[in-house]
Structure 1
Amino acid sequence: MGRIKYILKDKLGIDKAIFYTLVGRSLGIPVSVLTIFFIARYLSPEEQGYYYTFGSIVALQVFFELGLTGIITQFVAHEASHLTWNGREFVGEEKYKSRLASLLRFCAKWYSLFAGFIVVLLLVAGLTFFNHYNAHGKDINWALPWIILVMGTAFNFLIAPITSFVEGLGKVKEMAQIRLIQQVCQPIVVWGGFILGAKLFVSGMDALLKVSVVLFFICNSSIFRMLKSIWKEKVSEVISYKKEIFPLQWRIAVSWISGYFIFQLFNPVLFATEGAKVAGQMGLTLQALNALQALTLSWINTKVPRISGLIALKEYVQLDTLFNKTFKQVMAIGITFVFLFVIVLITFQNLNITLFGVDFGTRFLPAIPLILMAWATISMMPVNCWATYLRCHKKEPLMLNSVVIGILCCTSTLLFGKLYGLMGIVCGFAVLRLISLLWIRYVYKIKKIEWHKK
């Protein structure tokens, strides 16, 4: 057992936070696959269209969040690195406690305001949209499920800063445990809902479940006492949104928005040029590859509080030792996962293997487009690591890259998709991912030298 722990922790870098995150995300992959069977079994084709369109419209909340949750974790980690929790309160200089308290109050105001906007705008947008385009859904009960989903989405938005704040305080393991519990409970609610005839209500039920799990465990743990202690602190020195947060946030927001439009274009363009089947293959392939990427990024994401703290203390040697080790682990494990995924799928396709009566090989992209999209996914792994490292300095030097690559990807998808269909889209995307990889590597090296000289 000692040898196994040594290999997992020291060689592979799997601490408790990563372990819980990996288990949760590992569960997410089979859960997603099995959910497809339940959707096909218990929803009509028209209801299925409503189900996925619900998700697409709800995803617009990214335009309200604008990258703030990730920034919160970094700012909290910077301030908390100067404080110590003694079980009742934080001990340290008053200015750091004050800045933490000001940030917590700012989050409460910001997210409360925009949660209200989300409710109003999503309700109006959704009801208007579905009322206008309901030629095939006159007999479908969609209005009440949509309202419940919007409310669940708003509640999730409202508690998002709490989870980010808690992670910044160093409670990464605890938040990973909470997310794992969410992953375990999700299929019970979703699959059970489908079996019991809940149909489109399932999306709202899932959203409300996530909120309930987070609130229950935070309110019944020491985390609540920590947050209460910070909230009660007298605010004498504040974190300025205008001077400190906004200069970083607006750059990250541009990056997020660019990414949103890049990936949302694939399916509609393919649907128009090559039909629903190919669009479905692209959607499922992207979902699987993104899941693998998210799984491997557990290694770097769980290190954000530690990386941010080392930067705040200017412990650059220790910082680079931690980052370089984590980077190698991300790449080694990420490449292995993607390689195995591609090999298994190509084997299924060539041998016409079926599982549970479903030909999974034909549900994903053919071999060559699959390989190109796999390469694009692998190229994003080092990019995400470098981006995390740079942003933990509370700066955003990648905005120009995001905007330029976003515009080029959008243009490439529309143009080559129209001219060459699937192959045009994936070839253009693969080339642009290579350009982005080289560009961001250059920015990482230059900014690392520049910032650490100060």
Structure 2
Amino acid sequence: MEQGYYYTFGSILAIQIFFELGLSNIITQFVAHETANLTWNNKVSFSGSKESSSRLSSLLRFTIRWFGVIAFLLFFGLLIAGYCFFNKYGENDIIVEWQIPWLILSITTSLSLMLSPILAFLEGLGRVKEVAKIRLIQQIVQLSFVLIFFLLGFKLFSSPLAAILSFGIVPLWILLGNKKKLLIFIWNKIDVYKVNYKLEIFPFQWKIALSWISGYFIFQLFNPVLFATEGPIVAGQMGMTLAILNAILMFTLSWVTTKVPVFSGLIAKKQYKELDSLFNKTLIQSAVLNAVVLSSFFILIYFLRYFDIKIGNKNLGDRFLPFTSMMFMIIPVFLNHIIASWATYLRCHKKEPMLLQSVAMGILCCVSTILLGNNFGVFGMTLGYMILTIIGFVWTYFIFKNKKQEWHNEE
């Protein structure tokens, strides 16, 4: 039962998308475009275009102030949304203590949002491997302590306590390393040249924001709907399955996302042949890896159920969705890997051609999830999601093909 609460927590915490509005992704791209005009002297300083240096400084100042405000608003948004949802749909589960864990998670999620622009900024500066490494360490620490606390009987307190411990890793990494000196160096580079949010960022951001918000209704609505209609046990199975599948997607997609500063730099220099060569190679490698890992996951669940492997007198395989519904979720993950790669390539041009597709798919998936989930349960919900993802895949392919040709020919 608590597994359902655990994963539904995650789905509701994802409403931070409505506050962050895709700005972290935009920061990385803007920083990468400006960095293309600079030359690094060492790890904490650079030289080159005075205009680009000043624009970087203004961007850093703006994003830190912006995220400080929205993190404050996010805390109250999470607190209200969580208490309203669980008070209504979890009122019969009086034995589950979710109030304090939810408060702690709301705090740590809001604090983490305050750090996200700094990490995005460092990625744009070319520190992709370092940021990826610290994020990986953070995830390993959080997962390890979640498991430890679960085994020690902390129940729903396991995730909040692990979140507190993992959160502290990033600020320590920034303060104790050379990142602090680098950020101070950039902060002091301010001059008359500044990034104009209204004219430069907002026209791009509102499109990205709508696309990201649509993504919430595509990827995060499963657990709350199942929690409300079929209870925490089924929601827990969906949550466990999605957790593994999303981890696979993020892991394999990192082959593409870590190249964003490189893609953006090549676009800024109009080196399109090198861009396409690198992108195609990266996409093929990451897609093959994605297919292999997804297949391995499906085989693993088959063996867990075939040999009836148990932990704590509970069949471990039963914590996941039935095979058919699971396959209906696995196929979209592979297709979404390619969709996300194409979208990343296009967005590195500081344009958002995916707006209409994202909004349309978000609305269709929202309607499909609610209607099919209510009438046909998890089977209908997952089948509808797979069909819509296939449609979205074909649609995205034509956007990718046409926009790439249009943008590169006009320049």
What is the TM-score with the length of structure 1 in the denominator? 0.82
Distance 2:155 2:322 in 1: 32
* CA positional deviation for 1:398: 0.4
2:126 is the alignment partner of 1:170: yes
* Residues 1:415 and 2:371 aligned together: yes
Q: How does 1:387-398 map to 2 (within 5 A)?
A: 387-398=343-354
Q: In the alignment, which residue of structure 1 is the partner of 2:357?
A: 401
Distance 1:208 1:171 in 2: 25
Correspondence list, 1:329-368, <5 A: 329-349=285-305, 351-356=306-311, 357-368=313-324
SS at match of 1:86: strand
The CA deviation string for residues 191-250 of structure 1, in whole angstroms up to 9 with x for no partner, is 444566655444333333233111111122222221111100122111111122112211
Report how far residue 336 of structure 1 moved.
Answer: 1.3
Question: Given that residues 7 and 235 in structure 2 are in contact (C-alpha distance below 8 angstroms), is that contact kept between their aligned partners in structure 1?
Answer: no
2:40 to 85, 105, 119: 85
- Residue by residue over 1:82-119, the C-alpha shift from the partner in whole angstroms, topping out at 9 and shown as x without a partner, is 11221352200100001100100110110111122123
Query: Which residue matches 2:59?
Result: 103
Residues in 1 aligned to 2:215 and 2:63: alpha-carbon distance in whole angstroms? 24
**C-alpha distance 217-379 of structure 1, shift in aligned 2 (>3 A):** same
Equivalent residue runs for 1:236-275 within 5 Å: 236-270=192-226
Q: Hey, what does 1:15 align to over in structure 2?
A: none
Spell out, residue by residue over 1:153-212, the C-alpha distance to the aligned partner (whole angstroms, 9 max, x if none).
221111110001011101111112212322343245434445666554443333332331
Task: Output the amino acid matched with 2:19.
Answer: F
> Aligned Cα RMSD in Å?
2.6
| SS of match in other structure, 1:242 | helix
Question: Does structure 2 conserve the Cα–Cα contact (< 8 Å) formed by 1:352 and 1:359?
Answer: no
Identical-pair percentage: 49
Of 255, 262, 267, the residue aligned with 1:299 is 255
The whole-number CA distance in structure 2 between the counterparts of 1:136 and 1:380 is 37
Which residue pairs with 2:237 in the alignment? 281
Residue 115 of structure 1 is matched in structure 2 by 71
1:377 aligns with 2:333: yes
1:232 aligns with 2:212: no
Bigger drift between 309-318 and 365-374 goes to 365-374
* Equivalent of 1:69 in 17, 21, 24: 24
Distance 1:347 1:142, change over 3 A: closer
SS of the aligned residue for 2:221 comes to helix
Structure 1 Cα separation of the partners of residues 109 and 138 of structure 2 = 15
Q: Which residue of 2 aligns with 1:425?
A: 381
Q: Which amino acid aligns with 1:443?
A: I
Moved more, 161-170 or 354-363: 354-363
Instruction: Decide which moves more: 176-185 or 139-148.
Output: 139-148
Q: Which amino acid aligns with 1:82?
A: N
Are the equivalent residues in 1 in contact too, given 2:328–2:383 (CA < 8 A)?
yes
Q: Quick check: 2:38–2:47 contact (8 Å CA) kept in 1?
A: yes
Whichever residue aligns with residue 258 of structure 2, its letter is T
Deviation at 1:277, TM superposition (A): 4.5
Contact 2:38 2:48 in 1 (8 A): yes
- Per-residue deviation, residues 236-277 of structure 1 (Å, max 9, x unmatched): 111111122112211111111112122333334445666655
CA deviation profile, 1:266-298 (whole Å, cap 9, x unmatched): 334445666655443333222222221111111
